[in-house]
Amino acid sequence: MGIAVTRPASGSTGRALQEPLTLAIDIGGTHLKCGLLNPVGQLIGGPNRVNTPDEASPKVVVSALLDLAAPLAPFQRISIGFPGVVRHGHVQTAPNLGTKMWRDYPLAPELAKRLGKPARMLNDAEVQGLGVIAGNGVECVITLGTGMGFALFDDGRPAPHMELAHHPLHKSSTYEDLVGVAALRAAGKKRWNKRVQQAIDAITNLLNYDVLYIGGGNAKHLTLTLPPNIKTVNNQAGITGGVRLWDAKLDPLFPSASERLDPAG
């Protein structure tokens, strides 16, 4: 698969003083990534990455993630960003990987079992958002990658997840149809930017947010003039936001044993 591996620094870093360390996993339609985070969300190992397999079944993806994670051990907890709807550690939809293969797959419990550490999982846009939001007011995140990710936050807490990307934006075309990577390649950057502006305008009218953050690998192609309350953010937040999944205020979202630091109860 052509795995790119970066091992964590050792020796004088005082690694034991930085615990708990978080293995942060970012699953995308283009790449699978793993990084090691200290308690304040700094990347101290990785990110290790591999191209997402063409046949991205749970078995194949889990195997690749285990290979990416191995050089980053030891760590005390696991955070996962997944491109679809997730509930209680299980995948509900996986539009860019294959929903039929993934439906109701217990990804977080499976990785917790295989790696021997508690695991928490949210939609990948929500994880990226946790890495960039200020935690005040209504904040919105969209990610421009293989598809379009979306997350909404109210005073720093994720709102009930909406798959806005699959809602019609123009006639029968969805947000993802118009601003995903396939649309970028087919329409070219100039037309694609106009479509992104159309998506931003619709989201602005719908949500009346305080701040909108735009991330994802294709955010670099934006040429729009953005107002002060719309900001582009580093794509690495898809990994570094993983540490925020373990903030105490998010504990009610993760009630199962495999999602707690004290899985024995």
Dump pLDDT digits (tens) for 105-149: 999 999 999 999 999 999 999 999 999 999 999 999 999 988 899
The topology under which CATH files domain 133-233 is Nucleotidyltransferase; domain 5 (3.30.420)
Residues whose CB is less than 8 angstroms from the CB of residue 148 and which lie 6 or more positions away in sequence, other chains included? 142, 164, 165, 175, 176, 179, 180, 199, 216
Same fold, 15-126+238-259 and 133-233: yes
55-81 mean pLDDT? 96
- Which tens digits make up the pLDDT trace of 13-43? 455 557 899 999 999 888 999 999 999 999 9
User: Residue 20, exposed/middle/buried by CB under 10 A (0-12, 13-18, 19+)?
Assistant: middle
> Would you state the structure tokens that stand for residue 121, as one six-digit string?
């999982």
**pLDDT, position 258:** 85
pLDDT at residue 3 greater than cutoff 80: no
Phi, psi torsion values for 135, nearest 5 degrees? 90, 15
Compute CA distances 1 → 65, 107, 145, whole Å: 12, 21, 21
Taking the alpha carbons at both ends of the chain, their separation in whole angstroms is 39
pLDDT of residue 11: 44
Asked whether residue 1 carries a pLDDT value surpassing 60, the answer given is no
- Judge whether residue 209 has pLDDT over 90: yes
The answer, yes or no, to whether residue 102 has pLDDT greater than 50, is: yes
Please compute the mean of the pLDDT values over residues 72-86 and round it to a whole number. 95
- Within its chain, how far is the Cα of 244 from the centroid? 12
The amino acid that residue 38 corresponds to is N
Sheet holding 148-154, edge to edge: 157-158, 148-154, 138-144, 211-215, 230-232
- What's the Cα-to-Cα distance from 77 to each of 81, 118, 137, 196, rounded to whole Å? 14, 5, 29, 36
Return the SS3 of 50.
strand
SS (H, E, C) 120-142: EEEEHHHHHHHCCCCCCCEEEEE
Residues contacting residue 16 through CB under 8 Å, at least 6 positions apart: none
From the CB of residue 215, how many other CB atoms can be counted at a distance below 10 Å?
26
Supply the pLDDT for residue 240.
Answer: 86
Tell me how long the chain is: 265
What was the pLDDT predicted at 194? Answer: 96
Residue 7: the pLDDT is 57
Predicted TM-score (pTM) of the model is 0.88
Q: Are 17 and 39 in contact (CB under 8 A)?
A: no
| Residue tagged 């939609």 (tokens) | 123
Could you say which of 3.30.420.40, 3.40.50.150, 3.40.50.11540, 3.30.70.870 is the CATH number of the domain covering 15-126+238-259? 3.30.420.40
Looking at the predicted structure, is the pLDDT value of residue 95 above 80?
A: yes
Determine the pLDDT at residue 72: 96
Domain boundaries, the chain: 15-126+238-259, 133-233
Amino acid at 5: V
